[in-house]
Structure 1
Amino acid sequence: MSETKPFKTILYATNLGAHMRPVFRQAINMARIHQAKIIMLHAVAPIGTTGQAILSMYLPDREVHEIEQESMNQVIETMRERLKNYCAEEDDVCKDKDELIDKIAVSAGNPADVINHYATTHNVDLIVIGTHTRQSKDGLLGSTARYVTQHSKTPVLVVPNG
């Protein structure tokens, strides 16, 4: 039987939705218990091939790439702003935020694939994810949470957020 090791790096997967506070609170609590660092990750759907083709008809490839990069930077700024607001409202939860939040990352792709790939390539010890992207009565888990739990090689903590 393998020995359980403490979590050093926790990946908090967020969709920036209104129901993510309990999930983030749980990531903070786990980081404190394990003296771990948190990576905040948001996956952005890439421009599809149809969108890429339409844009390339009107803009050079370089400009399309710049627009994508600018969008990613805006999402990172939104994440920083939400973190700041969250900590202002829930002071007791974020008192150590500067030491707990190691990185804010945005990556393009299918959210479940992005989360699993990021966890593997960044030596993540635990993934913290919400049950649903939006409120749902369809089942216990949304499609992203279900896929991540079924395919991840990293332990996953699924937090109710519906």
Structure 2
Amino acid sequence: MSEMKPFQTILYATNLGTHMRPVFRQAINLARLHKAKIIMLHAVAPIGTTGSAILSMYMPGKEIHDIEQESMNQVIETMRERLKNYCAEEDDICKDKDELLDKIVVSAGNPADVINHYADTHGVDLIVIGSHTRQAGGHTMLGSTARTVTQHSKVPVLIIPNG
């Protein structure tokens, strides 16, 4: 039986929701335990072909690209601001965040696809993701993004209930 190696790169997938603190807290704790780096990742839905077609009637393609890029930069800034606020409120969790946090990434696409693709292409050892579980017909249902990530991931996935 093979020995479990410590995690070196942890992908913390966030939807920027209000209940993500327990998920981030787990990512921080695991990064400390394994002396790993954290990559914060948020996936945004792309404009899509219909939206692009409508926008292209009113503005050149370069402007559409610039608007998309500006939106991505705004999301990154929102992530940095939330991280700053989180650390101000939970100082014990973030005292060494600069050593643990490798980068903040925003990518366009279906969240589950973006998460798995990023993990596959960036040497990620563990994905930490939150899930809104709900009851349906007496059974607990896992959120669609978390379910799809676990079904297709090539690395371990830690799902933290956050709703």
Please indicate the TM-score interval, normalised by the length of the shorter structure: over 0.9
TM-score, with length taken from structure 1:
0.96
- Matching residue of 2:157: 156
Kept in 2, the 8 Å contact 1:40–1:103? The answer is yes
TM-score, with length taken from structure 2:
0.95
Point out 4+ residue stretches in structure 1 off by more than 2 angstroms: 135-140
Provide the identity percentage: 82
Verify: 1:38 aligned to 2:38, yes or no.
yes
The offset of 1:115, in angstroms, is: 0.2
What CA deviation, in whole Å up to 9, does each residue of 1:114-133 have, x standing for no partner?
0000000000000000012x
Taking the TM superposition and a 5 Å limit, the aligned residue runs for 1:108-147 are: 108-132=108-132, 136-138=134-136, 139-147=140-148
Tell me how far apart the structure 2 counterparts of residues 29 and 158 of structure 1 sit (CA, whole Å): 14
What CA deviation, in whole Å up to 9, does each residue of 1:50-93 have, x standing for no partner?
00100011110000000000000000000000000000000010
- Matching residue of 1:92: 92
Q: Which amino acid aligns with 2:145?
A: T
Q: Which amino acid aligns with 2:160?
A: V
Tell me how far apart the structure 2 counterparts of residues 68 and 83 of structure 1 sit (CA, whole Å): 23
Tell me how far apart the structure 2 counterparts of residues 140 and 3 of structure 1 sit (CA, whole Å): 32
SS at match of 2:103: strand
Tell me how far apart the structure 2 counterparts of residues 65 and 42 of structure 1 sit (CA, whole Å): 19
Structure 1 residues 98 and 18: CA distance shift in structure 2, 3 A: same
Root-mean-square deviation (CA, aligned residues, Å) is 1.0
The offset of 1:108, in angstroms, is: 0.1
SS at match of 1:102: strand
The offset of 1:140, in angstroms, is: 3.5
- Matching residue of 1:74: 74
Q: Which runs of 5+ in 1 are unaligned?
A: none
Tell me how far apart the structure 2 counterparts of residues 136 and 96 of structure 1 sit (CA, whole Å): 34
The offset of 1:136, in angstroms, is: 4.1
From the two aligned structures, give the one with the greater strand fraction. 2
Q: Which amino acid aligns with 1:155?
A: P
SS at match of 1:92: helix
Kept in 2, the 8 Å contact 1:131–1:140? The answer is no
Verify: 1:2 aligned to 2:12, yes or no.
no
